[in-house]
A = this chain, B = another copy of it.
């Protein structure tokens, strides 16, 4: 089923990354462009990138946001004014071929499934812990899309209906706690600035500049207050992983995103809390926690693989 040369383009919030894969999935060519801010220019940029990478046999595109099964971008938090953009159709007309489109998180899951941490695993969930929390699901040995194409919006599971407001308009979404910004928020909230002096030092002395990575760095230095915040953060991460396990019973979670880079600090407390919160924890092997292997290339590699997976 593999085409000989498959092109994948990952449209990110700031840049578009195009990768060409050979028949074995190896990256054989790469180009990037800044992501433009309007819908028209976006289609134009992706078209130009695709043409600049010719020849190729198939094209897949990963988009940040809600992508329908027929390749329409319903909305994208980071692309201003982009609503109901017929990405697949518009690119298809310009390029004269069928263009597959899916969400960047689903593409990343596909990439890790075929060439990364999830190789050979029939049931796993890719969880990206970054500014928000994204997800992609492989179940029954197939990429799960859902009826509209919106499966895997795991960051918006509500884990505390009276929790803090989320930019999505609801309260207590998982990503309010489990994302990098969630970790920083937990740090500022729990200690009201006073207890996290080392964290604030690492953020340049300004509490408003505290990011998740500063908390992780202070915890890595064994700063007791930072360790306590990391423990609370890990409990929230585990809570979401537990809910996903109760629903999907995966063999593995593949953790990606900026926070996964420093995950040595989180791994033990996440596993601890996972065991505390899981239903029937003694009656099954717990899903393994693996780290994404494809880094920032995952979206584009997965987009290129869509040709084999649809």
Interface residues of A (CB under 8 A from B): 66, 74-75, 122-123, 135, 137, 139-140, 142, 144-154, 156-161, 168, 170, 173, 235, 239, 242-244, 246-251, 276-280, 283-285, 287
Contact A246 B156 (CB under 8 A): yes
Show 19 residue pairs from A and B whose CB-CB distance is below 8 angstroms, ordered by the A residue.
A135-B247, A137-B247, A139-B146, A139-B151, A140-B140, A140-B145, A144-B248, A145-B249, A146-B248, A150-B284, A151-B248, A153-B246, A153-B280, A156-B279, A157-B246, A158-B159, A160-B160, A161-B235, A170-B277
Chain B hits for A249, CB < 8 A: 145-153
Contact A242 B75 (CB under 8 A): no
Instruction: Kindly provide the distance from the CB of A310 to the nearest chain B CB, expressed in whole angstroms.
Output: 12
User: Of B146, B157, B280, B284, which one neighbours A168 at CB under 8 angstroms?
Assistant: B280
Chain B hits for A148, CB < 8 A: 249, 284-285
CA A284 to CA B146, docked complex, whole Å: 12
Chain B hits for A123, CB < 8 A: 146-147
Closest B residue to A153 using CB positions: B246
CA A145 to CA B142, docked complex, whole Å: 13
What is the oligomeric copy number? Answer: 2
5 interchain residue pairs of minimum CB distance: A146-B249, A156-B279, A147-B251, A151-B249, A157-B243
Contact A161 B161 (CB under 8 A): no
Chain B hits for A146, CB < 8 A: 123, 139, 248-250
Instruction: Kindly provide the distance from the CB of A243 to the nearest chain B CB, expressed in whole angstroms.
Output: 4
Closest B residue to A151 using CB positions: B249
Chain B hits for A149, CB < 8 A: 249
Chain B hits for A75, CB < 8 A: 280, 283
Chain B hits for A137, CB < 8 A: 247
Contact A66 B284 (CB under 8 A): yes
Closest B residue to A142 using CB positions: B140
> Known: A144-B248, A239-B161, A242-B158. Is A74-B168 also a contact (CB below 8 A)?
no
Instruction: Kindly provide the distance from the CB of A308 to the nearest chain B CB, expressed in whole angstroms.
Output: 16
